[in-house]
Amino acid sequence: MNTRTEQRSGATAPLLTAIGLRKSYGKAEALRGASVDLHAGEILAVTGASGSGKSTLLHCLAGIVRPDEGSVSYGQQRLDRLPEARLGELRRTDFGVVFQFGQLIPELTAADNVALPLLLAGTSRAAALSRAGEWLERFGVRGQAGLRPGELSGGQGQRVALARALVTGPKAVFADEPTGALDSLAGEQVMTALVHAAREAGTAVLLITHDAQIAAYADREVWLRDGAFHPDAVQSATPEAAGRAVRHDS
């Protein structure tokens, strides 16, 4: 295991812990006792075939859906027991979520989309837009600040979505196939931007992907199969992944 992973997964308590998660939709079991930890500052890739339960796992960890059984703990808080109002507050402050297709609000400009979490948290419009502009600059899309999502390319839209997820300075970002709708070049650019921003801010990232090239950006990779993690499905970063992580840190 490389030094970065040892420091993040061994020396301190996990930022987020899921134990024995089970979730069904009708008769279909999406999760069958999945357990996983996410540590502060760690980039963790969850891989697996389509239908393996990856997105359901992310939704449970981010407090978007509640598991039928099991627990999700964030610090001293049990996310699976919190009221919806508190979960919504956490997603505006401590958590950022990025979906495969961005899910930007089509009626808002890129700048307004990024500023929205700050506005919902009570930040003044002027301050929120100023902060949004800084994050759009970081992701190389400040020139598109006045455009609406329909006027952005796929790569630009995902960069805006990443800026929105990180603008509040969250402790953790949950990225569900963030490059799935992009070509390989755009996907690499988006991942480079995400890794650099997360490393700089010390943000933990849970990355859902079926793409080995994308998973190689992570410190650690786990494989989900039929809603559960295989006993041998946890590994530290491969030499290639460690090399990428070091390069993206610099």
Whether residue 17 has pLDDT greater than 90: yes
Question: What tens digit of pLDDT does each residue of 197-219 get?
Answer: 899 989 999 999 988 899 999 99
Enumerate domains of the chain plus CATH numbers: 3-94+170-249 (3.40.50.300)
Please give the pLDDT value at position 9: 44
User: In the sheet that 43-47 helps form, which strands lie side by side, from edge to edge?
Assistant: 95-98, 172-176, 204-208, 43-47, 220-225, 228-236
Nearest to 115 by CA among 146, 156, 71: 146
Higher model confidence: residue 240 or residue 206? 206
Please give the pLDDT value at position 239: 39
| The residue to which tokens 């540590």 are assigned | 39
Please say whether the beta carbons of 245 and 195 come within 8 A. Answer: yes
Please give the pLDDT value at position 47: 92
CA dist., res. 90 & res. 24, Å (int): 25
Nearest to 80 by CA among 99, 66, 68, 90: 66
Question: What tens digit of pLDDT does each residue of 63-111 get?
Answer: 999 999 999 999 889 999 999 999 988 988 899 999 877 689 999 999 9
